[in-house]
Structure 1
Amino acid sequence: MRALVVRGGWEGHHPVESTELFRPFLERNGFEVRVETSPEVYADAAVMAATDLVVQSVTMSEITADQVEGLRRAVAAGTGLTGWHGGIADSYRASSDYLQLVGGQFASHPAKAPHERAGDETDNFVRHDLRFTELGRRHPVTASLDDFSLTTEQYWVLHDDLSDVLATTTHAAPPWHPWARPVTSPAVWVRQWGRGRIVVTTPGHDLEVLRHPAIRTIIERGMLWASRTASE
């Protein structure tokens, strides 16, 4: 089994440290791990054809048409794709083809009340719940996990109906934000693209969140499920 870790982009999401957190898990499960620091590798058809799992961890940045087409072609042929937080859901903002592939795009992370803000990244750390859907309670990626709460960035995600949502989070409608009613966003979803499986986990802003037992379980199970080394 071969895993390709593609990491880089905005350093605030710790692409090196976060992917290294999961490298031992991949190796224990029989993966030979290759690391690249650019999506250029996606355009290499031979490399992609030999890859069982792509772990995408590039926040923002850019991707060329041939690179995103190489990724789409590989996933359609059966390569798994997974990632967390901005490393997959806030990547390559200018590429609609990438957005269509992963099925969800970060739009915002609503903030604390103005009087609680300190002027740093913690202004967007709000306590929120992740609730599993009916599908999520039986899907191999999330089965047996209970609803839980986090205090970190809560992703507001733009999404489509091709994804199978395993967990959701609901954004409240406090008076300091302009929306008039609570809004529910997918927090974890899976997606079939041709013969390939995609798993997106939106929590994961920093190592503390990635070490949360439920988040780590979801990501690790997602790696195995996307690469078809786990059961249906």
Structure 2
Amino acid sequence: MSERQALVVRGGWEGHHPVEATDHFIPHLEANGFSVRVEDSPKVYAESDYMAGVDLIVQCMTMSTIEKDELAGLTRAVESGTGIAGWHGGIADSYRNSSDYLQLIGGQFACHPPKAAEERTGEQSDYFIPYRVEITAPNHPIMEGIADFDLVTEQYWVLSDEYNTVLATTTVGKHEWEPWHRPITSPAIWTRDWGKGRVFVCTPGHDMNVVRNQNVTTIIERGMLWASR
């Protein structure tokens, strides 16, 4: 039997450690029968002959931009059965210039609430707050055996729609220094069916401390395999 083909597309903002984070998961893919190709831009999405044979895209590309032919190649591949999986800003804060990409993925990073003003130091850690990931689909194969868990990192407020299958949520609190008036519950982990393809998104994953969290690692490893053709 021929190997399955996985494409890792990584880059964008370096604060999310796209190389180290994806390197963390490549051995898992190889151990599960994937041949892995790594690219540092979405240009590969426009290679239609190649993309037709890709079983899984793992995208870790925070912000950045995508050209029309690249986006067309990506959406065509997913609609034809290629899976796409990712975590944090590498998938939920990519290609802000494209509403079609946002529709494909099913959620867009809106903000990560900060600490109180007197606790901030001007570093990334200003946005590292304690929060809980609450499992809403414990019987889904990605979430089996995983209970609610706590993290101290960026908490994503996500703009999303009801087409997602939400596997876990997180509730952004309300504090006196914030302009919103009540707590907001956002999807933290979700899947989405698109044509013949599958989409998997895990919003925890800001840095390697979070990626290496056993719950987060397990969820992402399972999510990649679930999404694959």
Aligned residue identity for 1:175:
E
Determine the C-alpha separation between the residues in 2 that align with 1:35 and 1:144: 31
The percent identity for this pair of structures is 61
Aligned to 1:72: 75
Determine the C-alpha separation between the residues in 2 that align with 1:138 and 1:65: 38
Aligned residue identity for 2:160:
H
Ranges in structure 1 where 5+ consecutive residues have no aligned partner:
none
Aligned to 1:9: 12
Aligned to 1:205: 206
1:208-230 deviation line (CA, Å, top 9, x unaligned): 100001000000000110015xx
Determine the C-alpha separation between the residues in 1 that align with 2:196 and 2:141: 18
Aligned to 2:109: 106
Aligned to 1:128: 131
Determine the C-alpha separation between the residues in 1 that align with 2:144 and 2:175: 32
Aligned to 1:47: 50
1:9-40 deviation line (CA, Å, top 9, x unaligned): 11111111100000111111110000011101
Ranges in structure 2 where 5+ consecutive residues have no aligned partner:
none
Shift of 1:161: 1.2
Aligned residue identity for 2:60:
S
Determine the C-alpha separation between the residues in 1 that align with 2:203 and 2:158: 9
Let me know the Cα RMSD of the aligned residues: 0.6
1:49-86 deviation line (CA, Å, top 9, x unaligned): 11000001100000011111111110011101000000
Aligned to 1:171: 172
Shift of 1:143: 1.6
Aligned to 2:188: 187
Equivalent residue pairs, number? 226
Aligned residue identity for 2:186:
S
1:124-166 deviation line (CA, Å, top 9, x unaligned): 0000000011xx2111111210000000000000001111000
Shift of 1:189: 0.2
Shift of 1:102: 0.2
3-state SS of paired residue (2:188): strand
With the length of structure 2 as denominator, give the TM-score of the two structures: 0.98
Aligned residue identity for 2:109:
F
Shift of 1:116: 1.1
Aligned to 1:25: 28
1:86-105 deviation line (CA, Å, top 9, x unaligned): 00000000101100100100
Determine the C-alpha separation between the residues in 2 that align with 1:109 and 1:48: 34
Aligned residue identity for 2:21:
S
Query: How do 1:79-98 residues align onto structure 2 when only pairs under 5 Å count?
Result: 79-98=82-101
Determine the C-alpha separation between the residues in 2 that align with 1:168 and 1:143: 16
1:180-215 deviation line (CA, Å, top 9, x unaligned): 100001000000001101000000000010000100
Determine the C-alpha separation between the residues in 1 that align with 2:186 and 2:77: 28
With the length of structure 1 as denominator, give the TM-score of the two structures: 0.96
Asked if 1:226 is matched to 2:227, the reply is yes
Which consecutive segments of 4 or more residues in structure 1 shift more than 6 A? none
Determine the C-alpha separation between the residues in 2 that align with 1:5 and 1:197: 16
3-state SS of paired residue (1:106): strand
